[in-house]
Amino acid sequence: MTSRCRWKDCSGTESDGHPELVEGRRSGDRRLANVRPKQMGKGKTVRPWWAVVLCAALVAGCATTGGTEAGFGANPDSGGTSETVPGQRGEDAAPLSPELQAEIDRCRAEAEQNPTDPQRRHLLALALFRAGQTRDAAREWEKAVELDPSFAKAHYNLGVCLYGLGKVEEAEAHWLKTVELEPAHVSALYNLGVLKHNGGDLAAAIDHYRRCLSISPGHLKAQINLGLALASQQELVQAKEVWEQALARDPQCFNASYNLGVLSQQTNNVAAAVEHWKRAVEVPTEKVVEEMGDPATARRVRALAFYNLGVAAEEEEDLDKAGRYYRQALDLDGTNPLIRQAWRSTVRERRMGF
């Protein structure tokens, strides 16, 4: 998703947000205003600012077949997600495997032999989708819903394709139709929550996330995003409860640990924030990548957790510990100016004997 939204952080400041994650394709983070830096002792430089960034799971779109789901580019039976939305295959695209091409040819022949059968169109669309031919898949699902307007899976999958093609309003319409036809369609409810969230309609987003969780209490992405939406509305106690529930379900949930650290710091409980961030940086890298949707985003948010631990160490006047944390943050994200400046300042102060 390429849209941006204006939203309020935990301190009530409005800022731009970058899409992070939705259930089929991409992920992002949301920056909150930094806290005013505190002055250190005489002759010392000002302390680094806290990096108060809440992590979201804002991604939308999964193809479905029967009762299973698959992220963009994944095997429809795998239930997994991938990091990119497939577009129409170009001339330089790798050739399809003989097996997939044979499946497409077979499904196309069956659809042509049974032109009024929506299920045949659905199966052809799934094969085209797996081949990365999103526009062609969308056309087949359009034919399927024309033949059977009550075909919920076709509406949902058409929404997935339209979302991937940047047609967000059309995608929303088909996901709304999916929920009308199947009120307990978890993925449609979740994706609608994401769209409303990114559009700035937090009340509607919260409603969709809660409906999703009422059906699937273990939907981790919905829990993370619900907490984020609540925090954006200054409902910090509720946000904390939601993230604690997520952490109880998944003790290695990076988003929950990191965000609880942010809330603790924003409410001046630095000791609790440190414990949450320590827990966050102990989450295995591959798990963070899974949550954030891509390795680059995972590195950035892990770097911020180490950075904030460094800031906390400086609050305790422990420059050696701060330096170690900043070095780890720098190794993960050497482009972040906050991290680079904090590292340089710490090295300078240690040399000067502060």
Q: What is the pLDDT of residues 188-204, one digit of tens each?
A: 999 999 999 999 999 99
Burial of 311 (0-12, 13-18, 19+ CB in 10 A): buried
For the cut 70, the answer to whether the pLDDT of residue 259 exceeds it is yes
Do the bridges between strand 53-55 and strand 5-8 make them parallel or antiparallel, or are there none, so unpaired? unpaired
Question: What number is the average pLDDT over the span 157-175?
Answer: 95
Does the CA dihedral 276-278-281-284 come out positive or negative?
negative
Alpha helices in the chain (DSSP H): 98-113, 118-130, 134-147, 152-164, 168-181, 186-198, 202-215, 220-232, 236-249, 254-266, 270-281, 285-292, 295-315, 319-332, 337-352
For the cut 90, the answer to whether the pLDDT of residue 143 exceeds it is yes
Cβ atoms of 149 and 159 within 8 Å: the answer is no
Residues 348, 354: Cα–Cα separation, whole Å: 9
- Write down the pLDDT at residue 172: 96
Specify the higher pLDDT residue, 257 or 31. 257
Cβ atoms of 248 and 219 within 8 Å: the answer is no
- Write down the pLDDT at residue 161: 95
Quick one: CA torsion of 198, 204, 209, 210, rounded to 10 degrees? 160
Burial 82-97 (b: 16+ CB within 10 A, else e): bbebbeebeeeeeebe
- Write down the pLDDT at residue 265: 92
pTM for the structure as a whole: 0.76
The Cα-based distances of 194 to 119, 156, 175, 226, 295 in angstroms read 29, 15, 12, 10, 21
- Write down the pLDDT at residue 353: 52
Cβ atoms of 246 and 227 within 8 Å: the answer is yes
For the cut 70, the answer to whether the pLDDT of residue 206 exceeds it is yes
Convert the pLDDT of each residue in 11-66 to its tens digit. 233 333 322 223 332 233 333 323 333 333 334 444 556 666 676 655 554 444 33
Question: What number is the average pLDDT over the span 211-222?
Answer: 95
Specify the higher pLDDT residue, 87 or 212. 212
- Write down the pLDDT at residue 347: 76
For the cut 90, the answer to whether the pLDDT of residue 105 exceeds it is yes
Residues 132, 212: Cα–Cα separation, whole Å: 28
Nearest of 309, 336, 345 to residue 325 by alpha carbon = 309
Specify the higher pLDDT residue, 322 or 78. 322
Convert the pLDDT of each residue in 264-276 to its tens digit. 998 899 999 999 9
> Tokens 């898949």 — which residue?
137
The Cα-based distances of 331 to 103, 282, 325, 326, 334 in angstroms read 46, 16, 10, 9, 6
Convert the pLDDT of each residue in 276-330 to its tens digit. 999 999 999 999 999 988 899 999 999 999 999 999 999 898 989 999 999 999 9
Task: Delineate the domains of the chain, giving CATH numbers in brackets.
Answer: 5-87+165-352 (1.25.40.10)
The DSSP element (H or E) to which 17 belongs, if any, is strand 14-17
Cβ atoms of 16 and 34 within 8 Å: the answer is no
- Write down the pLDDT at residue 92: 41
- Write down the pLDDT at residue 56: 62
Specify the higher pLDDT residue, 273 or 74. 273
At a CB cut-off of 8 Å and minimum separation 6, what does 34 contact? 49, 50, 51, 52, 338
The Cα-based distances of 116 to 41, 64, 277 in angstroms read 79, 21, 57
For the cut 80, the answer to whether the pLDDT of residue 263 exceeds it is yes
- Write down the pLDDT at residue 352: 54
- Write down the pLDDT at residue 53: 60
Structure token digits, residue 346: 């710490």
